[in-house]
Structure 1
Amino acid sequence: MDKKESLSQHLIDFLSNQILTEMRPNDRLPSERDLMLQFNVSRTTVRNALDKLELSGLVTRMHGKGTFVTSRSESLTNLADLFSFSKTMELQGRTPSDRIIKFKRISADEELIQRLNLKENLNVFEVDRIRMASGKPMMFGKSFLPAEVFENLTRQQLEEKSMYKTFEDDYNVQIKEADESCRASILNEKISNLLDEKPGAPCLRLERVTMDNNGRAIEYTISWARADEFNYRVKHLYR
């Protein structure tokens, strides 16, 4: 990380902490000029930091008026940052938690064999979870993990820490990238009950295949996210 990036990250860390611990929704942040003087940084550094805070959903910038703390219910989630639900919720000042409602070793069907590129061991672990933020159901997910990678995986491991943390700590599996797609959908009766919603309520349906450093598929997950709790932003770069 070069000096400019370091200064920007320091400013991001400071403002994030202020927003999450001392400020309220709709509070106004110091002006760009005030931040420049306070931290002795350039306007470019300040704007880069505010851009990232806006993409994370912590602030809203209004032309000619300033930068304001975003209401939690209006927080925007950058799709590129939804790689970790736990980290995204923490960044928004919420406490992430999971409630596992199913943990079972099963035989993979043709779709799972293809998604996870299974060769010899055709068993997978199915993990169904309700993803919560500060106790409120936000998302329901069905994850399928290859048994040949996570042999002897237990429910207790996933209840003690996050899934990705378990991958890294207990199996030395380093996550590199994920291929994810999303589309608008509606909640069926079963999932709506799990998320304290009405059947037929709108949601975002996401499908993800996660890869490790060796290019090996280590997770296939289907998730249904409440539409009233997630507003998404995608930033396009013109090259």
Structure 2
Amino acid sequence: MIKRPKYAILADKLIKNILETQQPTNTRFFTEKELAHKYSVSRSTVRAALSELEDLKLIAKAKNIGYYVTYEPVQYDYAHFYSFSKLDMPAEQAPTTEILLFTQTIPNYYVAQMLHLAQDEPVYRVERLRLLGHQPVLFEKTFLPAERFPALKRNELVKNSLYDLLATKYQLKIKDGAEEFFASLINEREADLLDLRVGSPCLKIQRLAYDIFERPFEFTITTAPSRYFAYKVPLTKDV
């Protein structure tokens, strides 16, 4: 039987404490002194255990503040379409959306290419801040061809999920889509919206969705801070 070091045993206890009690993100975690006293171990053992938790992104350390909880499992199955507003979360973390911008505009060249539009064809530009409880966790910029969805209203998006609205009002039938992920850093505006520091790591996700006639109808760019975001991709072995 392999004997586990003290710091690993302590790390397990601390991990279970965070996961089982579901401590809210950004709440204060124990100090090294408190943990050493509580578990009757040395400060060096505590530091090694806390390092394990930092590697797992369960906690982080801030200067003059100490350790705080960073764990918040927001996971999506990106092999399927999902609706943020329909996430199954505890009542205190109920998903909500703030619409920051809703306007018709002329797309830039890249967006026009993605949606198979001429550059002078207007699009709806919708910017949404996604929150769990009162904590902002995602920032999305969505572009929709205006000609395909005439008379789309801002208040309709407040009351309905985008896909439900397009399906019921415009009889849209979704076929599939594709998403591309790449690492990036939080810019100044995103930092202000997501309550993070400029330069914090994040993932950028570009989603292009198609209807049953293979026509692109939605292009969305999502900023997903690494603090809140995780995703799983199934891997299969070629036979």
Q: Which residues of structure 1 form unaligned runs of 5+? A: 1-23, 28-70
Match of 2:184 in 1: 185
Equivalent pair of 1:207/1:221 in contact (CA under 8 Å): yes
**Quick one: which of 88, 106, 110 aligns to 1:90?**
88
Give the counterpart letter for 2:166 in structure 1.
F
Equivalent pair of 1:143/1:222 in contact (CA under 8 Å): yes
Match of 1:101 in 2: 100
Match of 1:117 in 2: 116
Q: Offset at 1:110?
A: 1.9
Equivalent pair of 1:121/1:148 in contact (CA under 8 Å): no
Q: Deviation string for 1:83-135 (max 9, x for gaps)?
A: 43334x32677422210111110012322221101259711000001011222
Change (3 A) 1:75 1:116: closer
Equivalent pair of 2:71/2:227 in contact (CA under 8 Å): no
Give the counterpart letter for 2:20 in structure 1.
N
Q: Offset at 1:141?
A: 0.7
Q: Deviation string for 1:161-195 (max 9, x for gaps)?
A: 11111111111112221111001111001111101
SS of the residue aligned with 2:124? strand
Structure-1 separation of matches of 2:234 and 2:184: 22
SS of the residue aligned with 1:182? strand
Match of 1:221 in 2: 220
Higher helix share: 1
Give the counterpart letter for 1:133 in structure 2.
L
Equivalent pair of 1:137/1:194 in contact (CA under 8 Å): yes
SS of the residue aligned with 1:73? coil
Equivalent pair of 2:83/2:161 in contact (CA under 8 Å): no
Structure-2 separation of matches of 1:120 and 1:186: 29
TM normalised by structure 1 equals 0.65
Structure-2 separation of matches of 1:197 and 1:84: 24
TM normalised by structure 2 equals 0.65
Structure-1 separation of matches of 2:120 and 2:168: 23
Structure-1 separation of matches of 2:75 and 2:96: 20
Equivalent pair of 1:75/1:92 in contact (CA under 8 Å): no
Q: Which residues of structure 2 form unaligned runs of 5+? A: 1-17, 22-69
Match of 1:52 in 2: none
Change (3 A) 1:82 1:135: farther
Aligned length: 172
Larger radius of gyration: 2
Match of 2:39 in 1: none
SS of the residue aligned with 2:111? helix
Q: CA RMSD in A?
A: 2.5
Give the counterpart letter for 1:238 in structure 2.
K
Match of 1:26 in 2: 20
Structure-1 separation of matches of 2:90 and 2:178: 24
